[in-house]
Structure 1
Amino acid sequence: MEKPTSFDTYRLGDITVTRIPELSLEDFPAAVVIPEWDPDILVRHPDWITPGSMDPARKNLYMQVHSWLVRTPRWTILIDTGVGNDKPRPFTPGFDRLSTPFLERLAKAGAQPEDIDYVLMTHLHVDHVGWNTRLEGGRWVPTFPNARYLFSGRELQYFTDERHHNDRNKTSFIVQRDSVLPLVDAGVAELIEVDGSEVLEGFAFQPTPGHSIDHASITVTSRGETAIFPGDTLHHPIQIFKPEWNSMFDAFEDEARTARKWVLDYAANENARLFSTHFPESAVGEVRRRGDGGFEWQFV
């Protein structure tokens, strides 16, 4: 499942953004990932899916897991941290006790763990927080020792409250213990309120709940240019053409649709480049409005 891919770098004003790949996922049936999937949509609109986004039989969606390395004139930042190595994930076999060269890839992109100043997390799910910590001497310790880790305090509260320990959240409860709470214990976590205000100059956490209880999309501006990191409001490019289609991973369905529409409106209105977490191919592109009022997608 894991295989190396290229290290694409993009410029946004004074900022550079580099994709740090972790996993490629190619065994996700479209009708499972997207419960409302209608295969006839690709008969009517064959151009909505590029060859690198779905298998030739049009059955399985191609997706990825990766992080974004963002360099500003002042800081080196990671946005989301993937699955991580050695993590016990008994309910998510594809992520169980991985051993990937993620840190070697980060180094190839020019950053050592000690170089990271901030880690920003869109939410606290298994495939977005894993490299927050690594196993050292039998303990989970912060992977990026000089970094401050910024994430929603409400998310942490939700995923550590036993009232929410249900079948959907059983992996997330494990995740907090080995990938989030050790940051709190080490004094490097900053629990924020997701309210659209800047957490760093040019970086804001925009409220897009639905996929998770307090999911954030991170917007970035530099010298008049704009980007959005929408986390899991979107899992696959087909959702840009069909934003009413949720994924199986969205916990609060109505809110997830509202959040997805907000992200697409923002990207189109602000001419913001979109840096996805799970899209295949380059994972980066532009959202434009169609003549019928919908949206379309172009990889860059």
Structure 2
Amino acid sequence: MSLKFSVGDLTIHRIIEQETTFMPALEMLPELTGALLAENKPWMQKAGAIDDSDVLILCFQSYIVETPHHTILVDSCIGNDKPRPLRPKWNMKTDDSYMRALAAAGFSLNDIDFVMCTHLHVDHVGWNTRLEGGRWVPTFPNARYLFGKHEFDYWTEQNGKAPVPPFVDSVLPVVEANKAEIVRNDYAIGDHVRILPTPGHTPGHIAFTFGRGKDDAVMSGDLMHTPLQTYYPELSAKFDIDPAQAATTRRSFLERYCDTDTLCCTAHFPSPSAGKIRRRGNGFSCEAVAAG
């Protein structure tokens, strides 16, 4: 399976850390009914999005985007050596799957110019840092790390009330190392990288659009987790801080890119994870695009 896409003057690589069962569909999507799930299960199984026991299959991955000027990593996944007791598959992980995937795509840690986070949840910031001599240090030594200001301010406030482990071990050490830039939504990198506000999953959730003069590709982050949410945008995940806003954002995003040539690179859809948004009745679908 190829993990590389070419669109416009961009080359996009998927860096997969895990692709695995995650949570029962009826638990993850509280508004989903058993009848609706049964109706959609055949195509979801064919797409590799659900198993025989109705557990959703999710991919946990980063994207590396090569523009003519920069090498940019979007969402740094789960990470190693981090205490995540609520997620056994993530807790104190020590495998080399992520580093092997980076190497297989042809990248070293020194090659990354920017690390950009759609939001600051645990599975999107993990490889921001790595353990070295008992300290958390930035994983990508030459990179500037971009955090959306609204998102950063929200988690700063939450962490002030009670420690938020991924913020403490995967975000603050980057700030303390003077590698972070806290950016507003009008921030851009050259003529190829822009921010698209997509609130709901978290208050400051953002998507990233890539391309000169038009959106050749968009990294959607967690505004949707499973292909079922393209068919039924009103289905919000249990992790969405504002489910109603997330549903509105999701439909707006899908309308924006419906029937365009923009490659939508999702954070968690099963492989191949990227596709073109197309209309389907009152909803949409993400039609898979072959990598290569």
Does TM-score exceed 0.5, indicating one fold?
yes
Given that 2:67 and 2:192 are in contact with CA atoms closer than 8 Å, whether structure 1 keeps it comes out as no
Query: Which consecutive residues of structure 1, in runs of 5 or more, have no partner in the other structure?
Result: 1-5
Q: Which residue of 2 aligns with 1:239?
A: 229
Q: Which residue of 1 aligns with 2:13?
A: 18
**Given the alignment, which residue of 197, 205, 224 partners 1:215?**
205
Residue 108 of structure 1 pairs with residue 104 of structure 2 = yes
- Describe the SS at the equivalent of 1:40: helix
Deviations along 1:26-70, one digit per CA (max 9) or x if unpaired, are: 14111011111123225545664242111135x111111000011
Given that 2:15 and 2:63 are in contact with CA atoms closer than 8 Å, whether structure 1 keeps it comes out as yes
RMSD of aligned C-alpha atoms? 2.0
Residue 68 of structure 1 pairs with residue 58 of structure 2 = no
Q: Which residue of 2 aligns with 1:183?
A: 174
Q: Which residue of 2 aligns with 1:283?
A: 273
Q: Using a 3 Å threshold, how does the CA distance of structure 1 residues 56 and 229 change in structure 2: closer, same or farther?
A: same
What percentage of residue pairs aligned between the two structures are identical? 39
1:80 aligned partner, one-letter code: D
Q: Which residue of 1 aligns with 2:252?
A: 262
Moved over 6 A (4+): none
Deviation at residue 71 of structure 1 after TM alignment: 1.0
CA distance in 1, matches of 2:160, 2:35: 37
Residue 297 of structure 1 pairs with residue 286 of structure 2 = yes
1:68 aligned partner, one-letter code: Y
2:221 aligned partner, one-letter code: G
Residue 226 of structure 1 pairs with residue 221 of structure 2 = no
Given that 2:3 and 2:13 are in contact with CA atoms closer than 8 Å, whether structure 1 keeps it comes out as yes
Deviation at residue 194 of structure 1 after TM alignment: 2.2
CA distance in 2, matches of 1:163, 1:122: 19
Given that 2:202 and 2:240 are in contact with CA atoms closer than 8 Å, whether structure 1 keeps it comes out as yes
How many residues are aligned here?
287
CA distance in 1, matches of 2:106, 2:31: 42
**Given the alignment, which residue of 94, 97, 115 partners 2:92?**
97
Deviations along 1:133-157, one digit per CA (max 9) or x if unpaired, are: 0000111001000001111122222
Query: Which consecutive residues of structure 2, in runs of 5 or more, have no partner in the other structure?
Result: none
Q: TM-score, normalising length from structure 1?
A: 0.89
